[in-house]
Amino acid sequence: MKIFPTSVIKKIDADTIRMEPVSSIELMERAARAFTNELLRYYDGDNTPFAIFAGPGNNGGDALAVARLLIQKGCGVVVWLCAAIDKLSPNCAVNLEHLQALQQVETLVDEKTAVTLPSDCVVIDGLFGSGLTRPLEGFYAHVVQTINSSGRDVVSIDIPSGLMGEDNACLQPQNIIKATHTITFQFPKLSMLFAENGAFVGNMTVVDISLSAAVIDSTPTSWYMTEKNDIQPLLVPRERHAHKGCFGRLLLVAGSRGMAGASVLAARAAMRSGVGLLTVHVPGCNNLVMQTAVPEAMTSIDVCEECFSTVPQLSKYSAVAVGPGIGRDKKSADALKILMQQCRVPMILDADALNILAENPEWLRLLPCGSVITPHPGEFARLAGGSKDSYQALQKAVELAMQYNIYIVLKGAYSVVVTPSGECHFNSTGNPGMATAGSGDVLTGILASLLAQGYTMPDAARIAVYAHGLSGDIATMNVGQRALVAGDIIEFLPDVWLSLGEQ
């Protein structure tokens, strides 16, 4: 699924109107129907009254159309129009007229008018949509604060009022709607995918309003949401007469004293993702643990008993991953530099390898072209410097990927794969239960396994992130979010590959 800047969405709307052809008021009706149908999946319209706040623009027009549709379905509705009637957009004015034929509409134009909400109502936020270009203040900030302090469930139309589609660094959080649910049209808005905006967006659902497929396909973007139908065609079926040598040789450099678990998790995930031959380079103290916990893997034993300090012979490996649990000892840092200098295949750097890299940022130029780094937000901040928000961090990631010709997996609720060409592929799977120790080590194992098997880096990264999140989702259905541990993600990987069509 493509994701577009809000300025481009406005053009897609206009092109749809021109090419179908369909009138703008008919397109608004289409959006209102889609919103209403989704809303009534969450709430029982026979027993739930709705309090609807409509602004002066087309988002307000959507809200007024939703109010009419709810009334026609027999729902209890009260509507506040938060604008003077002579200030409405044309489509908002038309929907107001249609609504007034059915029910009286209250008007709010200043902060003096008291708003009393039914005690058991659900608030529908239709004040402002994705076309907002400046922070809310004055009267509209007051309305937002009134809604937020009401204690009611809030469902936002397309985007929480006060939140902009991309950059929100200048906004004041108290002047943005805190939605329970956001039902957005056709595409997620970029800002909805950022961690700091989660409190505003709540549960996000994307509904199809049948914007022109031809226009969408022909409109370029650098942002995408990865879904199941994107992943399935990427998976290569195994040939009947294949043998283990056909599925790659992976070198995983992982573990140190007290951190054997990281190497075990990454190794088990790699094996469950189909690599043919896995060698785990471990310090002496971890060899017995690895041989016992992952008997399918071979080990290469470092000369150091405590940590990674020497680089094994690399020529036979089709992929190299380094970092889980290796620690930050100077011997490990020196060995990492040598590994980067000697490696001739794309590498995966995670965890402590990234922390060492952050202390030696000039080493980025040593990475083989097409390598990938997989930082969580803290690791990325140490590597690229602090950011005001996720939007700025994403911009930094794009710049870094393009400068060093590498891929970056920024881990989070919507993990994003950033390519050297500047494309950003956000992931649609995963859940908060995966915020647990070792989850990143599992992702490294999956990604390294796919890369060793011959998948290109962009395909391997997107498949790995999607499969990792989907396995976490399946695990959650079996053990719940609170009880989920990283090992559960590995245990349900077979279900992931089966669900994606693997035999």
Provide the pLDDT for residue 503.
60
Strand order from edge to edge, sheet including 203-207? 106-107, 77-81, 50-54, 122-126, 154-157, 181-185, 203-207
d(CA 374, CA 432): 18
* Band of pLDDT at residue 118, cut at 50, 70 and 90: confident
Location of each CATH 3.40.1190.20 domain in the chain = 241-499
Q: What is the pLDDT of residues 147-171, one digit of tens each?
A: 999 999 999 999 999 999 999 988 8
Residue range 17-23: average pLDDT? 94
Burial 354-392 (b: 16+ CB within 10 A, else e): bbbbbeeeebbebbbebbbbbbbeebbebbbeebebbbe
Average pLDDT of every residue of the chain: 96
Residue 115 has pLDDT above 90, yes or no: no
pTM, rounded to two decimals: 0.96
> In angstroms, how far apart are the furthest CA atoms of the chain?
84
Strand locations in 323-460 (E): 347-349, 372-373, 407-410, 416-418, 424-427
Nearest to 60 by CA among 4, 129, 147, 143: 129
Residue range 404-410: average pLDDT? 98
If you classify domain 2-220 with CATH, what class do you get? alpha beta
Residue 27 has pLDDT above 90, yes or no: yes
Q: What is the pLDDT of residues 220-268, one digit of tens each?
A: 999 999 999 999 999 999 999 999 999 999 999 999 999 999 999 999 9
Q: What percent of the chain has pLDDT over 70?
A: 100
* Band of pLDDT at residue 26, cut at 50, 70 and 90: very high
Token match 């994307």: residue? 206
Provide the pLDDT for residue 111.
87
If you classify domain 241-499 with CATH, what class do you get? alpha beta
Residue 53 has pLDDT above 70, yes or no: yes
